[in-house]
Amino acid sequence: MNGPRRLLAPAALLAAALLAIPLLHGLSARADTPAPQPPPGQAATTQALAPPHAAALPSLAPLVDSVKSAVVNVDVTSRVERDESSGDDPFEQFFGRGRRDPRQQIRQGAGSGFVIDPRGYILTNNHVVEGAFNIRVRFDDGRTLEAEVLGRDPLTDVALIKLKAPPANLPVLKLGDSDAMRVGDWVVAIGNPFGLASSVSAGILSAKAREIGASQYDDFLQTDAAINPGNSGGPLFNLRGEVVGINTAIVSGGAGIGFAVPSNLAKAIIPQLEKNGSVTRGYIGVKLQNLTPELARALNVPQSSGALINEVTKNSPGDRAGLKSDDVVVSLDGRKVESSSSLSRQVALRAPDTSVTLGVIRNGKAQDFKVTLTSRPGDLDRVGDARGPRPGTGSKRDETNRQRIGLTLQSIDPRTAEANGLPTKGAVITEVQPGSPADAAELAPGMVVTEAGGKKIANADDLSRVLKDARPGSTVLLRVTIRLPNREENTLLRALVVPG
């Protein structure tokens, strides 16, 4: 019984806290109001006998009653090759994973969803229906209907399913404007946590544009409304009864930290899911990283927000438009670009053959580039981290660099480089001292430095010379290459400040 109590306790505390606010507000509002006087000849009654009078929190019951009939449970049976989960997948924190039988390679799972179209269209999460060969949708009134997948998008974890025989007069929910939501706005979640159908919880919007490492297109809403296993794919409402998010993930071991796919992101891809069954994304052909204040100063960029281009793929749309490495993208079609991930999301939501205008700062000067997008290659939609291979023994250590900058280097071995999908020339970082200038520049073991201060680096000695000759207090731009787990190379720019 300890588990359920722990789950119910936060809801009770939240209700008490919510009720306390208007009660206190109501009392303070009446503090300077004169007390009513008794009629002449009638003795005054004591305050303890006065009827209670306090403001009450408006009930959410009317909102819930108006929307819950369109919220459904999604029960799935799916095939899996085998259960090899190691806990490293960010989606391991998502709901509706269900019970697995690796011997039979069959998974029974349950999640939530909601009707968005009278034709029987239902939105849910991709991870709820992925691999499903049998989908049964249960409504609040007890009806159970068969459904099939129309389209899925693993990168946003959104799926569109359709009732095979939709009944007449289906209740439908409206997708609201998630961009209009403000941090602190009230939200309501409805779903199927632990099989408890039509469970309702309330809270506030805690944050927007959260990146949790699920994919390069993360743009989650964060809420403290109680969300539990089985809520996956269920709606997150504003107080007008509009869906502003699709409940998707929680923080393992955390309380009151849940994430939802914004409704505007879902609205942008629904037409493709309905028509094509998948999402085709726009593609520029550049590798990006966030612009830091240190990089902004080194590149003579008068702002610290934007997307820094590390590499331009040959013959890509960006290459044909004239984009170059070290360009900083600060706007797309006049809309400010805050980070590399925001640029990736904006481009991905545009259709191939669309023309966009990129506002770029190059060598301290603002320029505009018109780019015609193409389709994004599917093999680029993998998720990886910035960990490179660990070098072998026999490194050539430079004690001066180690003491002054915090770096230990070795020349890259061509055979090892080819085996690991790395450049055949460069200096491998084998060690970074904690708290050193190299550590502050976000350098890490396994990175291969191929350029420093505008000069090509063929080996560790080349990089050592550049660093030794650098003026104290100056910033040396290092171009580094890492290998992602899918063996794809990724190029980054790092700003190393040389100590005095």
H or E element at residue 452:
strand 448-452
Q: Give Dmax over CA atoms of the chain in angstroms.
A: 107
232 a catalytic residue: yes
Annotated active-site residue in 75, 157, 327, 398: 157
CB-based contacts of 61, cutoff 8 Å, min separation 6: none
Residues 78, 112, 127, 340: which is the catalytic one?
A: 127
Contacts for 2 with CB less than 8 Å, ≥ 6 apart: none
Residue 326 annotated in active site: no
Instruction: Give yes or no: 252 in active site.
Output: no
Give a three-class secondary structure readout of 134-200.
EEEEECCCCCEEEEEEEEEECCCCEEEEEECCCCCCCCCCCECCHHHCCCCCEEEEEECHHHCCCEE
Q: Which entry of 78, 199, 215, 232 is annotated as an active-site residue?
A: 232
Q: Are the C-beta atoms of 153 and 273 separated by less than 8 Å?
A: yes
DSSP state, residue 472: T
How many angstroms separate the CA atoms of 463 and 452, rounded?
7
Q: What whole-number distance in Å separates Cα of residue 301 and Cα of residue 328?
A: 8
Strand 475-483 to 455-456 pairing: unpaired
**CA atoms within 13 A of residue 183's CA, in its CB half-sphere:** 7
Do 482 and 387 contact (CB within 8 A), yes or no? yes
Secondary structure element (H or E) that encloses residue 8, with its range: helix 2-29
Point out the residues that are catalytic: 127, 157, 232
